[in-house]
A and B are shown apart, each in its own frame.
Chain A
Amino acid sequence: MSSWLIIGFTLVIVVPILYMIFTSNIIRAAYAFTLSLLGLAAIYVLLKAELMAVVQIMIYAGGVVVLLIFGIMLTRRQKGMELVTLHRDVALGAGFCMILYALFVSWIGESGLAFTEELVELNQVKTIGISFLTNHILSFEIIAFLLLVALVGAAFLAKKTDSI
């Protein structure tokens, strides 16, 4: 049952991504991206990582994608123009990527990382929260600082150009 669910959500991830690759329309690609992010969140749920799924939906689908869509709209050249992008080096890029994918696949296959035994259920959120403030406190602080810097930097960059 669960494996069929996983395969189904995998399709929900893969198909929009393929659409993204082939389309020229950025807006549609962004919507497809959102769809695949949601599919990924579902996978996380199935992987028993609920917090991660929530974060995925909130930050990615809610934040990043909205940000990207704003970016698309703000960089449109003129009103009414199709939001079309062009492709370049398609063959080369596709070739390389496929080779890379094949390599990865063969590597993964050879590596023998085929865990099947699942862990006991835990209170994940609590465990993660304690980890944040104990084992990973430094990382947490750095991330906080990074977010602050990013915030200031983004605000500064988004200011009027002539004031730079």
Chain B
Amino acid sequence: MEITLTYYLMLSAFLLCAGLLIVLIKKNAVFVLLGIELMLNAANLNLVAFSKFDPSLDGQIFAIFSVVVAAAEAAIALAILLNIYKTYKSSDLDDLDTLNY
């Protein structure tokens, strides 16, 4: 069986949709972060897969950038999450409704 770009793109799409699904349906904020990481990975996979057919390797470079940004994002997000938890004694996203009222 021939593995083509299409295959990677489909896998990436699956990752994206799965991450999105996790973001949408899980109540816990940490879980949501997991989903976001998953979606970022989907992007990375795309970049890497495209760069396989690109001599400049720009795809990989951007994937690395993306990983770095994702790491920084995760750190910041967790810091925010901890502060929220301190304030609201909850990590449930539904409880964060102050702006609603």
Chain A interface (Cβ < 8 Å from any Cβ of B): 2-4, 6-7, 10, 13-14, 17-18, 20-21, 26, 29-30, 33, 36-37, 40, 43-44, 47-49, 51-52, 55-56, 59-60, 63-64, 67-68, 70-72, 74-75, 77, 85-90, 92-94, 96-98, 100-101, 104-105, 108-109, 113-119, 122, 124, 127-128, 131-132, 135-136, 139, 143, 146-147, 150-151, 153-158, 161
Contact = CB atoms under 8 A, between A and B. Distances in A.
Contact of A157 (B20, B60, B76): B76
A87 B14 contact: no
B74 A67 contact: yes
Interface of B: 1-11, 13-18, 20-22, 24-31, 33-34, 37-38, 41, 44-45, 48-49, 51-58, 60-61, 63-65, 67-76, 78-83, 85-87, 89-92, 94
B14 A14 contact: yes
B16 A3 contact: no
Given A20-B18, A68-B30, A87-B25, A146 B69 contact: yes
Contact of A85 (B11, B27, B83): B27
17 contacts: A3-B3, A13-B11, A14-B11, A20-B18, A26-B31, A49-B48, A49-B51, A64-B37, A71-B30, A86-B27, A93-B24, A108-B10, A119-B52, A119-B55, A131-B56, A136-B58, A154-B76
A49 B37 contact: no
Given A21-B22, A40-B41, A55 B64 contact: yes
B71 A59 contact: yes
A113 B4 CA distance: 9
A116 to B, nearest CB: 5
